[in-house]
Amino acid sequence: MRLNQGGTMDKISNAADFIAQLRFALKQEPDIPKDIRPEDPLSGYAVQEELVKRLLSENAGHIAGYKVACTNILAQKLLGVDTPFYGRLLSHVVYRSPANLNPDDFSMRCIEAEFAFEMAEDLPRENAPYDADRVAAAVSALVPAIEIVDTRYKEWTKVSVPSLIADNGCNGAWVMGDSCKDWHQFDLKTHQVDLIVNGEPKLRGSGSEVLGHPLNSLTWLANALCEHGKFLKAGDLISTGVCTDLYLAEPGDELVADFGKLGTVSLTFSGTSQPGKAGNED
């Protein structure tokens, strides 16, 4: 890989090239080289944006939505942070449940059961900041989901947050269940979620683990995007963060995230991954 020499844009481009090549080759390194490593969250997002362009070009995909990371106190303690960050959900690694994925497509198979939302309308920058009630009114459906967190770093808990952001928030893939339109009748804060592994209950959590309520995570994202010159759009899918402890899956594992009356989402690591189609195409 040929690296350019020059200013900030060259540094951002070079960092995006570095991560993209690792993703294409399914390789890991300790971190982004120091001379091109993002030094703060905003530069991390700048690298992420360039990385996403490369990934979409390579895979003929589109942005399906966003994932929010570090909304759970366990995840925050693991990574040594006290605020969320986000990445993009990309259509070529969005799958519909039941999904059968190739375990060899991932360097790490960190399983996160998550409440997700589909947006019914835009939340434009000129109307920010938003509160949870306004954000909830813009939602069309709740979607039970599993995120597969993967990383280009050999020890992902030891790199900086800007490096994690640059690697698209460490999103490896995302599996979505059936949409639930009448989600408003449920108390998401206390709603129980179970992760079942190979037929046995493994982990349990609830919506309270996600910044106190999954809508708090969605509201954080809506406002963060506006601060960064972007905004949530109708059709966007947003995964709000893990609501149980983390589980590192093994090849052959059969996983079910059970959201009770809100539905289930299932994933098996024994097949050949087939990309799905979801979310906005613009």
How many CB atoms within 10 Å of residue 142?
A: 25
Please check whether residue 242 is in contact with residue 198, taking contact to mean a CB–CB distance below 8 angstroms.
Answer: no
Residue 206: per-residue pLDDT: 97
ω into 144 cis (within 30 of 0) = no
Residue 172, token pair as written in the block: 């490896």
Q: Which amino acid is at 60?
A: A
At residue 251, the 3 state secondary structure works out as coil
Q: How far apart are CA 46 and CA 12, in angstroms?
A: 7
Q: What is the 3-state secondary structure (H, E, C) of 60-89?
A: CCCEEEEEEECCCHHHHHHHCCCCCEEEEE
> 183 pLDDT band (50/70/90 cuts)?
very high
Query: Smallest Cα–Cα separation from 174: which of 135, 200, 148?
Result: 148
pLDDT tens for residues 23-75? Answer: 999 999 999 999 999 999 999 999 999 999 999 999 999 999 999 999 988 77
Which domains, ranges and CATH numbers included, belong to the chain? 61-268 (3.90.850.10)
Residue reference for tokens 């040929």:
2
Residues constituting the chain: 282
E strands, 97-236, in order: 99-100, 110-119, 139-149, 171-176, 192-197, 200-206
> 235 pLDDT band (50/70/90 cuts)?
very high
Residue 123 has pLDDT above 90, yes or no: yes
Residue 272: per-residue pLDDT: 66
* pTM over the 0.85 mark: yes
Which tops the pLDDT comparison, 233 or 80?
A: 233
Residue 282: per-residue pLDDT: 40
How many CB atoms within 10 Å of residue 155?
A: 10
